Chains A and B, each alone.
Chain A
Amino acid sequence: MDVFGVFAQFWPELLSGVGITIKLAGLGAIIAGFLAPLLALVRVNGGPAAQVPLRFYISFMRGTPLLAQMFLIYYGSGQFRPFLQDIGLWNFFREPFNCALLAFVMNSTAYQTEILRGGIMGVPHGEIEAGKAVGMSYVMSLRRVVFPHAYRIAWPALGNEIILLIKASALASVVTVFDLMGQTRAIFQKTFDFSVYIWAAVLYLCLTAAFVWIWRRFEHRLSPHIHGKRPSLLGAMTKRETA
């Protein structure tokens, strides 16, 4: 075991792996973050025709292993190769990175939708009525009343979900994506030096710790009236909302 020698020799590979991991988890979280509020609204206000399939989707995504979902997309798409080639999507599904990302987006959307649904249902009804009373349209009350409050409620749980996503992104290494886990496995197979796993653990912990720190800062900015801090970076935005 040569703890520092391994890092000195392989740090470029490990850092490029960290980059891919951030790209996978970051893109996955952001794309899911755009889809989830729309689906959460359907979960709260939608009719049964929209609710039932959405419920099945969420239950399926939460009740099956992410690894199986990823295999279903990556290997499963091969069964429809001629069809996918016809509609020009085969090049997308041929890339393991895209398949892993698609699996993460679909999975995280399901979890984030449920979290946001909880946030939306946690908004006191009086606030929505007050919005109506001052003449806000549905969309405007969503933008100014419902979502700002729902995100404040859901923020910590959303952070947990994104941490899970960072950890889950290691699964992409199984379909030959060279993220941090993929690079680590490749280096171990070359050197049989256990210390590369220690470096991977340190780097993953650094990633999640950095994320937790950033997320907390945003939380304080989102709800300065709870945390007792003066807003500075996003000051203009939060001031207008709390004024």
Chain B
Amino acid sequence: MLELFSFGEAGWGDQLLQGLLVTIQLALTALPVGLLLGFAAAGASLSPYRWLRAIGTGYTTIMRGLPELLTLFVVYNGLGLLLNSIVSSWNPDARVELSSFVAGVIALGLVFGAFAGEVLRGAFQSLNKGQMEAGKAVGMRPTQVFFRIMLPQVWRFALPGLGNLWINLLKDTALVSVIALDDLMRMTQVAVRSTKQPFTFFLAACLIYWALCVISEIVLARLEKRANRGVRRA
């Protein structure tokens, strides 16, 4: 049993490890994309302009209501078609292929951004307005107010919600195996096909994902503790 997971020629350990690295890479690349989109969405839905608010709430509402798998296919196929039609207008013979990694990063980032937008909006709304005014009163520039007063507290308020979203993101990376990215899930399927031991290998994959989530939870608990240092508790 254990030799199935050994490294080298005999086992599938190194293939699974490779897949795991792709999964982690994908999640870590989609995270900043999603966070940026989330800040943009939160900013848009809190803006004084009506059209910008409409874009912000429209994006978060629609994207949160769609299945992640559908978003992935829309990005993978739709963006592929779009890119090809743009390229072929220049050069009719050229073809481009959207890599499944890029499609995965965009789709997962879009989903993360929509949910993060709502979390961050709530965090910005729970800031104490008097503190921002105090910052202005002592002569801080708007960027200073943002980075010294708003951001540290938004981070504290939003961290639990963003942590949940990170764990969802980790789990959603498994979807990208459907568009043929060689992540942990797909490498597991490859191993299943040649060993004919589906239960053993899918269980192993589940345990690896589980370990990732448990490690994330531990790190997140530490981050939260750090973000809340100096805050008086009831």
Q: Which residues of A contact B (CB under 8 A)?
A: 59-60, 62-69, 71-72, 75-80, 163, 167-171, 173-174, 181, 184-185, 188, 192, 194, 197, 200-201, 204-205, 208-209
Q: Indicate which residue in A67, A77, A173 contacts B199 across the interface (CB closer than 8 Å).
A: A77
16 contacts between A and B (CB under 8 A): A63-B213, A65-B171, A65-B175, A66-B171, A68-B205, A72-B198, A75-B192, A79-B196, A79-B198, A167-B68, A173-B69, A174-B69, A181-B69, A181-B70, A194-B78, A197-B73
CA distance A76 to B199 in the complex (A): 4
Q: Are B178 and A181 in contact (CB under 8 A)?
A: no
- Residue B88, interface by CB 8 Å: no
Known: A167-B67, A192-B81. 5 other contacts (CB 8 A): A65-B206, A76-B198, A197-B74, A201-B62, A204-B67
Contacts of B175 in A (CB 8 A): 65, 67, 171
**Do B206 and A68 touch (CB < 8 A)?**
yes
Q: From residue B110, how far is it (CB to closest CB) to chain A in Å? A: 13
Report chain B residues within 8 Å CB of A192. Answer: 81
Judged by DSSP, the binding face of A is helix
Contact A205 B62 (CB under 8 A): yes
Q: CB distance B197 to A79 under 8 Å? A: yes
Contacts known (A68-B209, A79-B198, A181-B67); A201 close to B185, Cβ less than 8 A: no
Residues of B bordering A, CB below 8 Å: 62, 65-70, 73-74, 77-78, 81, 167, 171-175, 177-178, 185, 188-189, 192, 196-200, 202-203, 205-206, 209-210, 213-214
Bound-state Cα–Cα, A163 to B178, Å: 22
The one of A60, A67, A71, A201 that contacts B198, using a Cβ cutoff of 8 Å = A71
Which residue from chain B places its CB closest to the CB of A200 in the assembled complex? B70
Shortest CB-to-CB span from A14 to chain B, Å, is 13
User: With A and B bound together, what is the CA distance between A197 and B81 in angstroms?
Assistant: 13
CA of A163 to CA of B174, assembled, Å: 20
Q: Are A204 and B77 in contact (CB under 8 A)?
A: no
Report A120 CB to chain B, min CB distance, Å. Answer: 22
Among candidates B67, B68, B78, B200, residue contacting A79 with C-beta atoms closer than 8 Å: B200
A residues in contact with B65, CB < 8 Å: 163, 167, 204-205, 208-209
**Complex contacts, B70 vs chain A, CB 8 Å:** 170, 181, 184, 197, 200-201, 204
Known: A170-B70, A201-B70. A76 touches B202 (CB 8 A): yes
On whether the beta carbons of B209 and A79 are closer than 8 Å, the reply is no
In the complex, the answer to whether B172 meets A65 with C-beta atoms within 8 Å is yes
Q: What's the nearest-Cβ distance from chain A to residue B65, in Å?
A: 5
- With most chain B CB atoms within 10 A of its CB, the pick from A78, A188, A197 is A197
Assess the A201–B66 pair: CB atoms within 8 A: yes
B107 smallest CB distance to A (angstroms)? 12
Which residues of the other chain, B, contact A69 by a CB distance below 8 angstroms?
A: 206
Give the residue name and chain of the A residue nearest to B74 (CB): A197
Alpha-carbon separation in the docked complex, A69 to B69 (Å): 16
Partner of A72, one of B67, B69, B171, B202: B202
Q: In the complex, which residues of chain B have a beta carbon less than 8 angstroms from the beta carbon of A171?
A: 67, 69, 175
- Docked pose: A77 CA to B196 CA in angstroms: 11
Query: Please, which residues of chain B bring their CB within 8 A of the CB of A208?
Result: 65
Please report the C-alpha to C-alpha distance between residue A78 and residue B177 in the assembled complex, in whole angstroms: 21
In the A-B complex, list the 8 residue pairs whose CB atoms are closest, starting with the nearest.
A76-B199, A170-B67, A65-B174, A63-B213, A75-B198, A79-B199, A72-B202, A65-B171
- Taking the nearest CB of chain B, how far is it from the CB of A29, in angstroms? 16
Q: How far is the CA of A169 from the CA of B178 in the complex (A)?
A: 15
